[in-house]
Amino acid sequence: MRGKGIVLHDHFAFLGGAERLVVLLAKGAGPLDLAAGYVVPSGPVRSNLQGLSVRDLGAFSAVPLWRIFRLERAFRARTGFLSRYDRVVYSGSVAPLAVHNHRAGVNILYCHSIPRFAYDLKEEYLRRLPPWQRPVMSLLAAYTREVYGKAVRSMDRIVVNSRNVRERVHRYLGLDSEIVYPPCETSLFRWLGQEDYYLSTARMEKEKRVDRIVRAFTKMTDRKLVVASGGPEEKRLKRLAEGYGNIRFTGWLKDDELMKLMGRAVATIYIPLDEDFGMSPLESMAAGKPVIGVAEGGLLETVIHGKTGLLLPEDPSEDHIVEAVLGMTPRRAAAMRRDSEHRAREFDTTLFLRHMRDVLGRTGPGIRPGDISAKNEERP
Residue 166 to residue 136: CA distance in whole angstroms: 29
Q: Is the pLDDT of residue 375 over 60?
A: no
Mean pLDDT of all residues belonging to the chain: 91
Exposure string (b/e) for 215-228, b if CB count within 10 Å is 16 or more? bbbbebeebbbbbb
Each residue of 160-208: pLDDT tens digit? Answer: 999 999 999 999 999 999 999 999 999 999 999 999 999 999 999 999 9
> CATH number for the 186-345 domain, one of 3.40.50.2000, 3.40.50.720, 3.40.50.1980, 3.30.365.10?
3.40.50.2000
DSSP annotation of 367 reads: -
Contacts of 172 (CB under 8 A, 6+ apart): 114, 119, 120
Contacts of 23 (CB under 8 A, 6+ apart): 34, 48, 49, 52
Edge-first strand listing for the sheet containing 309-312:
247-249, 224-227, 197-200, 268-269, 291-294, 309-312
Q: Mean per-residue pLDDT for 237-257?
A: 95
Where exactly are the structural domains of the chain? 5-183+348-364, 186-345
| Backbone angles phi and psi of 110, in degrees to 5 | -100, 105
Which residue would you say has higher pLDDT here, 344 or 42? 344
Burial of 92 (0-12, 13-18, 19+ CB in 10 A): buried
The answer to whether domain 5-183+348-364 and domain 186-345 are alike in fold is yes
Q: Mean per-residue pLDDT for 60-77?
A: 88
Q: Is the pLDDT of residue 325 over 70?
A: yes
Among 29, 10, 27, smallest CA distance to 18 is for 10
pTM comes to 0.85
Contact (Cβ atoms closer than 8 angstroms) between residue 261 and residue 204: no
Q: Is the pLDDT of residue 306 over 50?
A: yes
Q: What is the pLDDT of residue 370?
A: 42
Contact (Cβ atoms closer than 8 angstroms) between residue 130 and residue 56: no
Q: Which fold has domain 5-183+348-364?
A: Rossmann fold (3.40.50)
Lowest mean pLDDT among 28-32, 72-76, 214-218, 291-295: 28-32
Contacts of 148 (CB under 8 A, 6+ apart): 93, 96, 97, 114, 115, 118
Which residue would you say has higher pLDDT here, 16 or 77? 77
| pLDDT confidence bin for 44, thresholds 50/70/90 | low
Residue 57 to residue 44: CA distance in whole angstroms: 20
